[in-house]
Amino acid sequence: MRMTRIGGPSIFVELDGWRILIDPTFDPPGRRYPFALGTSSVKTRGPAVTASSLGRIDLILVSHDHHADNLDTAGRAVLPSATHVITTSSGAKRLAMPHAHGLTAGESIRIETDGKAPLEVTATPCRHGPVFSHPIVGDVIGFAIRRPGQARVALWITGDSVLYPALRRTAVELDVDVAIVNAGGVGFPATGPLKYTMTGADAVRLIAEIDPRVAIPAHYDGWSHFRDGEKGMCSAVATAPPDIRSRIRWLPDGQPVDV
């Protein structure tokens, strides 16, 4: 498996010949994007690679389509070029593309394309904020990718979520080879101390419960709404138990890395 960090949640994955793009964000930095309840965030870092440099894209995974830090304007422009797009059920309706497949947590889809073994993609649960926040923050999912006939998950992308029971149960239930764990500790002045994604400490705790071969921190920098951010992620990794710390792999910007 090979990964290239683009920035934020956006990672390009090459798996068994499949070319997979996670949460495409390719807008330049500097723009402020609105979110719910009058909140907003400024993109502070641009993508490490351009969308055009990626070449063919077989599959795009969109954890949620309604937040610009997971799907921005330039990212949307890439969607029509992919063979398959998988997102939330509500997101697929909004995207209204014939090749966009919608899933809710627990649902799976088998996808195929010429010359490659099929993949099974299962939507996993996320809660993108405090209890009862779903009507405001909307639907969000993670993705567990399996090779055909295998119970082991080749790749799990947690999606944007706080650390909560359903996510922790998923971490224990799945047999994961490589995990991409989104963190950053999102928060907004307008909503006080409320937290909308895991902090670095939360992410390390979840990694211990996943027990993967490799864990990749993601979505912890590049936006103004990260309260915990890169500093919090680095601090949590530095103080993690050695057996956990040894599994955590930092992806360099824009450079393909075998994991």
Q: How far apart are alpha carbons 143 and 46 in whole angstroms?
A: 25
* Token pair listed for 53: 């440099």
Annotate 140-171 with three-state secondary structure: CEEEEEECCCCCCEEEEECCCCCCCHHHHHHH
**What would the pLDDT profile of 122-169 be if each residue is shown by its tens digit?**
999 999 999 999 999 999 999 999 998 999 999 999 999 999 999 999
3-state DSSP call for residue 135? Answer: helix
Q: Is residue 223's pLDDT more than 90?
A: yes
Query: What is the average per-residue pLDDT within 171-178?
Result: 98
**Cβ within 8 Å of residue 242, ≥6 positions away:** none
Task: Please give the pLDDT value at position 187.
Answer: 96
Query: What is the average per-residue pLDDT within 22-44?
Result: 96
Task: Please give the pLDDT value at position 141.
Answer: 99
- When the candidates are 3.60.15.10, 3.40.50.1000, 1.10.287.610, 3.30.2130.30, the CATH number that belongs to 2-250 is 3.60.15.10
**Element spanning 206, H or E:** helix 200-210
Mean pLDDT computed over every residue of the chain: 98
How far is residue 241 CA from its own chain's centroid?
24
What percent of the chain stands above pLDDT 90? 97
Task: Please give the pLDDT value at position 83.
Answer: 98
Residue by residue, DSSP assigns 33-100 as EE-GGG-EEEB-S--SS-SGGG---SEEE-S-SSSTTTS-HHHHHHGGGSSEEEEEHHHHHHH--TTE
pTM of the model: 0.97
Q: How far apart are alpha carbons 160 and 162 in whole angstroms?
A: 7
| In the chain, where the domains are located | 2-250
Query: What is the average per-residue pLDDT within 19-47?
Result: 97
**What would the pLDDT profile of 72-120 be if each residue is shown by its tens digit?**
999 999 999 999 999 999 999 999 999 999 999 999 999 999 889 999 9
Tell me how far CA of residue 54 lies from CA of 20, 24, 111, 157, 239, in angstroms. 10, 11, 21, 20, 35
- Please classify residue 133 by burial: count the beta carbons closer than 10 Å to its beta carbon, then call 0-12 exposed, 13-18 middle and 19+ buried: middle
Q: How far apart are alpha carbons 141 and 38 in whole angstroms?
A: 23
The number of C-alpha atoms within 13 Å of 48 and in the hemisphere containing its C-beta is: 18
Q: Is residue 37's pLDDT more than 90?
A: no
* Token pair listed for 65: 């389509």
Q: Measuring CA to CA, which residue among 148, 133, 143, 82 is closest to residue 108? A: 143
Q: Is residue 236's pLDDT more than 90?
A: yes
Q: How far apart are alpha carbons 90 and 78 in whole angstroms?
A: 19
How far is residue 106 CA from its own chain's centroid?
17
Task: Please give the pLDDT value at position 71.
Answer: 99
Task: Please give the pLDDT value at position 138.
Answer: 97
